[in-house]
Amino acid sequence: MLTDKKISVVIPCYNEEANIPALYERLSKTRSEITSSYELLFADNNSRDRTRAILRELAQKDNRVKVILFARNFGNSQYGYSAGMEYATGDAVILMEADLQDSPEIIADFVKKWQEGFDVVYGIRPRSSGTLLSRLFRRTFYRLFNKLSYLEIPFDAGDFSLWNRKVVSAFNAMPERLRLIRGMRPWLGFRHAGIEYERKERMGGVTSNPSFAKNFWWAKKFIFSFSEAPFAFITRMAFWLTVLLPFAIAAVLVLAFAGAISWLAGLASIAVACILVLQTAALSFLGESISIMFDEVKQRPK
């Protein structure tokens, strides 16, 4: 046994009937080598296959299995993790997906790091995992995010992680409706450590990973939720347009006196171009931020 403390494992699910039995068996075996006290919390995102029936059967035969059933599909695993952490009672909470790409056997390594005094232990995916397009997108996103944000997210760090109880309590106290685990986790602080591991192929079923367009949507939400750079960009753009405008006007007047252009048409072109560029950027950035604020001020349940 690595520890006598209670471990909770939170697992979001959506159409995972092909994976849950094997996941349960492997988690049970891994648990027996780590602790005598544990619980498994499955958060089902309104699956359309037999996932809910299988989870009910597991809960009936094993009182350490808890099942949270969503009233509808809420779109992604972030809400499953959030719901699971609300109900988890362990001294440490493990977050992992149900498709067995994240091996349950790695949990023992997480627990060892936790016993060394780290409050958060996260898995680092190999940079060679995924398709060429997904690797390129992931690498571009992490570099762009760390450049623009006031946070720093470790490269290729996924949701697969262990959280100490005090970190879970702090996370549960965060009221925002847009739940972005990989951004909220470093924002909380505490002592973090990363462990590299080999991410497997999905064991069974059809992947529910988002499309490129959906990934782009999430990347955009990440940046606007944890960065002031878009607003600083608007301010800088307005400043430099103001600084450069007199030079542009002077150039137009010189060309007008030389008879090369009509000074009125030149000034009008400059003014229209400046206004369009600034307004387009400002409106797009403000629109994205207002959409986030709109969800937050409604104060609906997470």
Q: What angle do CA 86, 20, 114 make, to 5 degrees?
A: 50
pLDDT on residue 140: 72
pLDDT at 268 over 70: no
Which tens digits make up the pLDDT trace of 115-159? 888 999 988 876 655 566 666 766 777 676 666 666 777 777 788
- End-to-end Cα separation, the chain, in angstroms: 36
Which of helix, strand or coil describes residue 265? helix
CA distance 261 to 268: 12
pLDDT by residue (tens digit) across 274-285?
667 666 777 777
CA distances, 210 to each of 142, 213, 217 (Å): 17, 8, 10
12: pLDDT confidence band, cut at 50, 70 and 90? Answer: very high
The identity of residue 113, as a single letter, is: K
- What's the distance, CA 150 to chain centroid? 16
Is the confidence at residue 110, as pLDDT, over 80? yes
Indicate whether 228 pLDDT > 70: no
**pLDDT the model gives residue 176:** 82
pLDDT at position 301: 79
What does the DSSP assignment read for 165-196? Answer: HHHHHHHHT---SS--HHHHHHHH-S-EEEEE
Checking if the pLDDT of 66 tops 90, the result is yes
Phi and psi angles of residue 9, each rounded to the nearest 5 degrees, phi first: -120, 120
